[in-house]
Structure 1
Amino acid sequence: MSGIEREPTEVRIPKAALDAFAAALSVRTVAMRTWPNDGLEWMYPVGTWEEAHLEVALLPGGEEVWLRMATDRSSVAVWTIEQWWEFAGELPGATPPPA
């Protein structure tokens, strides 16, 4: 990992926010913005920047994926890359993870 560390926190991600992100990801309509505090490139559904939305970042090294709500960027949920591929693999038009 790149030296970025987080304290374990509870992150509440509304199902609607996760569904909106999944829909945007499945049709490839996510935008990306580099956050100055951590230098990570966060993905979010296009057109949602001004409203509550889910943001997702792949950590350098590709072993973890971070998820956070725009309404509380101090709390981050951590998924393994395997959890991410399981989630992404269920989306319409998904391609299998790289071998």
Structure 2
Amino acid sequence: MAWLVLVISGFLETAWAIALDRSAGLSRLLPSVVFVVTLVLSMAGLAYALRDIPVGTGYAVWVGIGAVGTALVGMLVLGESASLPRILCLLLVIAGVVGLKIFH
């Protein structure tokens, strides 16, 4: 259960990062509310998962999922560069996250 909550919390990290960007410095109400709600849920999920998962592993997986998710949304939705080197770097992050799970 802890791993499932951790993965969901990683996706919520992506949501709050995108909402923070869309909030224009917390000056737009709806994206700011989405940011706060998803941030709190993401942190609460991370806290729950860390009861059973070591902090180094849990935090790295949470950040990795959030970073890869945010970069993918940036590339696929927000028009950021999707160059081969960027994609290869994201694959390395994914490999690291999978490795942390396998060797937990």
Give the structure-2-normalised TM-score: 0.31
Q: Which structure shows the bigger proportion of residues in strand conformation? A: 1
Give the structure-1-normalised TM-score: 0.31
- Structure with larger Rg: 2
Q: Which structure shows the bigger proportion of residues in helix conformation? A: 2
